[in-house]
Amino acid sequence: MSNLASQIPLPPPEYRHNVGAIDPKRYENPSGDLIYPTIAPHYYRKFFDFGCGCGRVARQLALQKVQPEAYLGIDLHAGMIQWCQENITPHVPQFSFLHHDVFYIGWNKESPNKVLPFPVDTQDFTLVNAISVFTHLEQDSAVFYLAEVNRILAEDGIFHATWFLFDKTDFPMMQDFQNALYINIPDPVNAVIFDKAWMVNEAQKNNLKIIAIEPPIVRGGQWVLTMARPSHPSPAKMIPSANTTSGKSASWVKRLRLKLRGHQ
Ligand SMILES: C[S@@+](CC[C@H](N)C(=O)[O-])C[C@H]1O[C@@H](n2cnc3c(N)ncnc32)[C@H](O)[C@@H]1O
């Protein structure tokens, strides 16, 4: 175990449970390799982590040989942010964390804000990351935050995010303005599935094209999409149909389902 790995504690089980990643291995980076092997080292220079949770990605990145000049993680869960500030920043001072004070029925229900701008300057980040976050945003919030990604991403930056996607042509009852499926009435952002064509179009409106695609491991699971500016040399990629078998849902979704039983 590296020196830093032994110094930065693992988040407590409750917080690891919150983000659906209990296994300590998901917080480690024993080889020090790039945490996203398909993203070249120079993109990690200024790293913005939307929905950073309890610092899972931050901890892995802190253990990466190629270090960012600056990392900022934001999340609506005040307790997890405080934990990251107290337990990660002291070991890697270029890593900072801020509470993003937006409403969520589970963890931030006093907030009057549906959305808030990212608390950073325009075109300031070379890598904007959002793992399992656009999978928990209502359609209008997703539109807002895609515009924010466009605002803060450097001209030569990369946007790396995960998505639940479906094909709206299979749902003839959906109107033009309806492009998201919600699985839970008391907590609409429990899991949100966007129409594939709508999402690609919204990305294009925000000067983003898809340059790399990792299909879900199980049918209906998360797609990992890497996007860049239209000037990026890689050609735009089309999202194929997922050629996967059915399986279980993500543990974060399962956890919320259990927690929300009391509301139903
Ligand atoms: C499934 S967890 C993933 C956490 C982290 N990205 C990871 O990969 O470990 C989703 C996180 O997104 C946060 N989140 C969801 N919507 C958000 C919003 N609108 N603003 C900030 N954080 C949000 C949640 O609080 C939660 O910590």
Three-state DSSP string of 135-185:
HHCCHHHHHHHHHHHHHHEEEEEEEEEEEEEECHHHCCCCCCCCCEEECCC
Task: Dump pLDDT digits (tens) for 175-220.
Answer: 999 999 999 999 999 999 999 999 999 999 999 999 999 999 999 9
The ligand 1 atom at the shortest distance from the C-alpha of residue 55 is 9
Instruction: Domain 3-263: give its CATH architecture.
Output: 3-Layer(aba) Sandwich (3.40)
Which residue lies with its CA nearest to atom 2 of ligand 1?
Answer: 19
Pocket test for ligand 1, best of 136, 182, 192 (most atoms within 8 A of CB): 136
| 43 to 92, 206, 212, 220: CA distances (angstroms) | 19, 19, 15, 29
* Sites in the chain below the pLDDT cut of 70: 1, 242-264
pLDDT given for residue 244 in this prediction: 64
Task: Dump pLDDT digits (tens) for 149-176.
Answer: 999 999 999 999 999 999 999 999 999 9
CB of 253 closer than 6 angstroms to any ligand 1 atom: no
Pocket test for ligand 1, best of 19, 101, 102, 224 (most atoms within 8 A of CB): 19
What are the boundaries of each domain within the chain? 3-263
Query: From CA 252, how far away is CA 264, in angstroms rounded?
Result: 18
CB of 16 closer than 6 angstroms to any ligand 1 atom: no
pLDDT given for residue 6 in this prediction: 86
Beta bridge partners of 193: 164, 181
Exposed e or buried b per residue across 118-151, where buried means at least 16 C-beta atoms within 10 angstroms of its C-beta: bebeeebbbbbbbbbbbbbbebebbbebbebbbe
The ligand 1 atom at the shortest distance from the C-alpha of residue 141 is 19
Which residue lies with its CA nearest to atom 26 of ligand 1?
Answer: 53
The ligand 1 atom at the shortest distance from the C-alpha of residue 250 is 1
Helix, strand or coil, per DSSP, at residue 99? strand
> How far, in Å, is the centroid of ligand 1 from the Cα of 114?
14
> How far, in Å, is the centroid of ligand 1 from the Cα of 77?
8
Pairing of strands 70-75, 180-182: unpaired
CB of 57 closer than 6 angstroms to any ligand 1 atom: yes
